[in-house]
Amino acid sequence: MGNCLHSSKKSISPSVTRSLSSGPSTSKIGSSTTTTGKLSNISSSTFGQSTGSGVSVDEPFPEGRILELPNLRIFTFNELRSATKNFKPEMVLGEGGFGTVFKGWVDEKTLNPSRSGIGMVVAVKKLNSESLQGLEEWQSEVNFLGRLSHPNLVKLLGYCLDERELLLVYEFMPKGSLENHLFRRGAAFDPLPWSLRLKIAIGAAKGLAFLHSSEKQIIYRDFKASNILLDMNYNPKLSDFGLAKNGPSGGDSHVTTRVMGTYGYAAPEYVATGHLYVKSDVYGFGVVLLEMLSGQRALDTNRPTGQHNLVDWAKPYLSDRRKLARLMDPRLEGQYPSKAALQAAQLTLKCLAGEPKNRPSMKEVVETLEQIDAFKGRSKDTRDTPPPPHMPRRSPVHHRSTLHPNPDVAGQGARGNHHPPRLR
């Protein structure tokens, strides 16, 4: 599922990877025109009942909470059609495997549709009616994100299940995705300074730690830069819970499931065996942390041979201070504490450990990042340090992974038409 919850138009993630599921093959989905009660026959068994239209948009508890039932506004299709100006093309924020994402306007208190420019901006995802994959992920999104409340998770405000129409309504994230700020060019995407990168890393880590510390442990399963969205103050929030899954229970160490996720970010044990651990998410976090340090994409076939996979290529540079300086993002222009960067690199290595048991917990990751943030060392200028042989400073091409057949709706990245083969 996509995550275009912000203002940058026409964005598609480069490396989205989901296996097409064999979800329900219903030809018609039950309608819902009221604002209370069950989602529908097809979904009520999955998530129970919504608490109706009295949804609160207040700030969540600082440490987060999990509701027994989704607390969401149930919109009619006509309401969302009105909020998005009849889904006009100029309201499109992005497109992807889930469908199209539109900008909409609603009243801040009632969430009733309002005229363009009046009230609160929201992002409205509209499911492609032919997408069985989208139906299954729509259900997962409501089931998980509809019950989760945390400062570092995007707010799901409501949904629509009306005849054949499936839609989701989210808070709007004006600064777009971390992916855009790391890899795109233009006036709207200034290079992120070290302090902001660390702030984003800490917030995203707290979001994952919250999921992992819940009673049933929730595995996010698709942690990547395009799924980390930023509010006006660059506070990060995890979006897109279409692949989220409950963790192991009964003393089991893992759950076995179809391999779904994104090449370059998915943990090696999961790709190889289908065994999904809570710490499989930690590996994905390590990949994103490496992207934030280096300014390079996790996968890019436009880099020289042997450097397509960032993790494989960059690992030897993470434990040596001198080598690390050659790996660091040149857009930082050397303006970062070298000791703090080395500590972050060493943490990255731990997250990328081959065995899940050797990776730190996300709680430990948060603690380490906060310690690094507290370190106010002098910035070391690395601008005169040459790059490693044949290492391009930046790839201009947005590469899509072969693990996911559909582009991600993120409003981050350029619109694309390439559909690589599915993993399964």
**In contact, 144 and 152? CB cutoff 8 Å:** no
339: its two tokens: 């000791």
Query: Which is nearest to 322 in space by CA: 341, 304, 350, 308?
Result: 341
Query: Which is nearest to 15 in space by CA: 410, 291, 420, 401?
Result: 401
DSSP 164-190: TEEEEEEE--TT-BHHHHHH--STT-P
**In contact, 1 and 166? CB cutoff 8 Å:** no
User: Beta strands 275-276 and 12-13: pairing type?
Assistant: unpaired
CA atoms within 13 A on the CB side of 306: 4
User: Beta strands 165-171 and 156-162: pairing type?
Assistant: antiparallel
Length of the chain counted residue by residue: 424
DSSP 8-state code for residue 277: -
Query: Which helix (DSSP H) or strand (DSSP E) does residue 286 occupy?
Result: helix 280-294
Encode 82-95: b = buried (16+ Cβ within 10 Å), e = exposed: bbbbebeeebbbbb
Number of CB atoms found within 10 A of residue 110's CB: 13
Sign of the CA dihedral 132, 133, 138, 144?
positive
CA atoms within 13 A on the CB side of 120: 17
CA atoms within 13 A on the CB side of 45: 2
Does 126 belong to an annotated binding site?
A: yes
Side chain identity at residue 401, one-letter code: S
End-to-end, the C-alpha distance of the chain in Å comes to: 17
Q: What angle (nearest 5°) sits at the alpha carbon of residue 44, between those of residues 40 and 49?
A: 100
116: its two tokens: 């363009």
Q: Which residues are catalytic?
A: 222
Binding site for ATP, by residue number, is 126
